[in-house]
């Protein structure tokens, strides 16, 4: 069965005392409809990706508008044949995307947004600095051709990275992320630092690829569910699996050094020398080498002792 996956976020002030009620309404809907996915809910708004039958997703969109009392929510849809989520969950958080700055929430839903068509033109301007606000392992499997990134491991490192970047305050800056939500906060962080000419891609890579596949964005777009990433047609990847050790996109085929099973691991675990099929095998292999080590260290020590003058 073909499943619909939809992502949506909205910064909108929600009363703390109302969050349990909102949360319950979404959970009730999921319980009878089979909707799965993750909803982050906070006093600054909502951020979610959910999956279900096409009719369920359509109904859910209506419900969400009703619950939030908003009729202009923006959804980004894609499809998959396999469930990308195991369960449905609502989490109440201080921030619906974690920058470590709950005080930095957009007050307007449109802070210098560029539509995919406007962005498509803008990124071809050699004078503009294109910033990928995502983490290093996301950038590594796909990015806009001319983009730079700060090799961040998590989003909360972004403001400091910009501070250290040396990018001139008057430079035209174009920023993007997966679905747009990170840039809503990243742009505020940059504006706070005095950047005046910053723009963000409306709806992120997912929105761009819908209109411009195989254009200025190269590679695949990492997503935070079992699909790992989506390709240029927004279809689940055929190229990557989840690394059994760290959960990053994996495409290096190995034979497990412990049990000889064929496995696929990510480039960074490969570089670290983690050549095993699972955490379990990695553990057993490390016990093996740890018990060998003291032995050789002991031998070396003895040798050193006997050769050093008493």
Taking the complex as a whole, how short is the minimal distance between the CB of residue 37 and Zn ion, in angstroms?
24
How, if at all, do strands 113-114 and 198-201 pair? Answer: parallel
Beta bridge partners of 221: 230
Query: Measured from the CB atom, is 64 or 277 closer to Zn ion?
Result: 277
Instruction: Supply angle C-alpha 151, 218, 184, rounded to 5.
Output: 55
Question: Is 269 part of the annotated catalytic residue set?
Answer: no
Q: Within a 10 A sphere around the Cβ of 172, how many other Cβ atoms?
A: 16
- Write out the two tokens for 142: 């796909």
Contacts with Zn ion by CB under 5 A: the residue count is 12
Q: Which is nearer to Zn ion, 229 or 248 (CB)?
A: 248
Smallest separation (angstroms) from Zn ion to the CB of 263: 7
64 binds Zn ion per the rule CB under 5 A: no
Q: How far apart are CA 65 and CA 217, in angstroms?
A: 31
Applying CB under 5 A, the span of 43-51, 136-144, 243-251, 298-306 interacting with Zn ion comes to 243-251
Is residue 245 involved in binding Zn ion (CB under 5 A)? Answer: yes
Nearest of 76, 10, 69 to residue 42 by alpha carbon:
10
Shortest spacing between CB 273 and Zn ion, in angstroms: 12
Task: Closer to Zn ion by CB, 144 or 240: give it.
Answer: 240
Residue nearer to Zn ion on the CB measure, 173 or 277: 277
User: Structure tokens of 178?
Assistant: 């997966």
CB of residue 265 to Zn ion, shortest distance in Å = 5
Choose the catalytic residue: 4, 39, 177, 243. Answer: 177
Yes or no: say if 234 and 208 are a contact pair by the CB < 8 Å rule. no
Q: Is 141 in the site for Zn ion (CB under 5 A)?
A: no
> Footprint of Zn ion on residues 250-289 (CB under 5 A)?
256, 258-259, 261, 266, 269, 277, 281
**Site for Zn ion (CB under 5 A): which residue of 235, 241, 246, 252?**
246
Q: Measured from the CB of residue 137, what is the shortest distance to Zn ion in angstroms?
A: 9
169: Cβ contacts below 8 Å, ≥ 6 apart: 193, 194, 195, 196
Site for Zn ion, rule CB under 5 A: 243, 245-246, 248, 256, 258-259, 261, 266, 269, 277, 281
Point out the residues that are catalytic: 177
């Amino acid at each position: 069965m073909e499943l619909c996956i939809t992502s949506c976020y909205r910064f909108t002030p929600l009363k703390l005392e109302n969050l349990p009620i909102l949360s319950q309404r979404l959970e009730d809907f999921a319980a009878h409809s089979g909707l799965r996915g993750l909803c982050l809910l906070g006093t600054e708004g909502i951020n979610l990706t959910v999956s279900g039958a096409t009719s369920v997703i359509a109904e859910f969109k209506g419900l969400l508008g009703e619950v939030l009392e908003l009729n202009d929510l923006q959804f980004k849809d894609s499809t998959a044949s396999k469930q990308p989520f195991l369960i449905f969950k609502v989490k109440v958080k201080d921030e619906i995307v974690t920058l470590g700055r709950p005080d930095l929430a957009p007050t307007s839903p449109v802070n210098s947004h560029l539509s995919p068509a406007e962005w498509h033109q803008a990124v071809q301007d050699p004078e503009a600095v294109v910033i990928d606000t995502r983490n290093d392992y996301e950038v590594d499997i796909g990015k806009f051709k001319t983009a730079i990134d700060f090799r961040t491991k998590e989003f909360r490192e972004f403001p400091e990275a910009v501070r250290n970047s040396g990018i001139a305050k008057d430079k035209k800056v174009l920023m993007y992320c997966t679905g747009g939500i990170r840039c809503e906060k990243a742009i505020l962080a940059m504006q706070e630092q005095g950047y005046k000419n910053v723009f963000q891609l409306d709806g992120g890579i997912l929105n761009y690829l819908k209109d411009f596949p195989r254009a200025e964005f190269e590679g695949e777009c990492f997503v935070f569910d079992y699909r790992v990433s989506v390709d240029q047609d927004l279809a689940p990847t055929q190229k990557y699996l989840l690394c059994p050790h760290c959960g990053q996109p994996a495409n290096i085929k190995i034979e497990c050094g412990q049990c000889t099973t064929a496995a696929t691991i990510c480039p960074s675990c490969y570089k670290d020398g983690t050549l095993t099929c699972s955490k379990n095998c990695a553990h057993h292999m490390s016990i093996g080498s740890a018990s060998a080590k003291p032995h050789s260290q002991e031998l070396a020590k003895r040798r050193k002792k006997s050769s050093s003058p008493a």
